[in-house]
Amino acid sequence: MGNINYSPKQRMHRPESRLERGEYVAQQKGNALLGMDLPQTKLPPGAILAIREAAIKRKELRRQITEKYSNAALAKQWGVHESTIEKVLAYETGRHVR
């Protein structure tokens, strides 16, 4: 086998039509299929929006629950320490009340 010696100019030659990486990525993204055009898509756009709205509602409800019904909130409401609320919920205090 003979060694083929390429000159540096031959090794570095790139065709003129070759795109830079950024241009190539942009072109590929522009040609990409999106959403319902993809075969693996499971949810229609309406379902995606409904899920996102439900998550926002859930976040708000959690905030309200924390503000009104956490052990700290109940302790403040009844004027007792938080550990007292924990004992009531664990039936360590007021065991006879059902």
Asked whether residue 1 is domain-assigned, the answer is: no
Asked whether residue 18 is domain-assigned, the answer is: yes
Which pLDDT tens digit goes with each residue over 73-83? Answer: 999 999 999 99
Domain of 32 in residue numbering reads as 9-89
Asked whether residue 4 is domain-assigned, the answer is: no
Asked whether residue 42 is domain-assigned, the answer is: yes
**Burial (CB count within 10 angstroms: exposed 0-12, middle 13-18, buried 19+), residue 77:** exposed
Asked whether residue 17 is domain-assigned, the answer is: yes
Q: For residue 18, what pLDDT is reported?
A: 78
Structurally, how many domains does the chain consist of? Answer: 1
Asked whether residue 77 is domain-assigned, the answer is: yes
- d(C-alpha 16, C-alpha 9), whole Å: 14
Output the pTM of the full model.
0.54
As given in the structure block, the two tokens for residue 13 are 């030659």
- How sure is the predictor about 28, in pLDDT bands with cuts at 50, 70 and 90? confident
Q: For residue 6, what pLDDT is reported?
A: 59
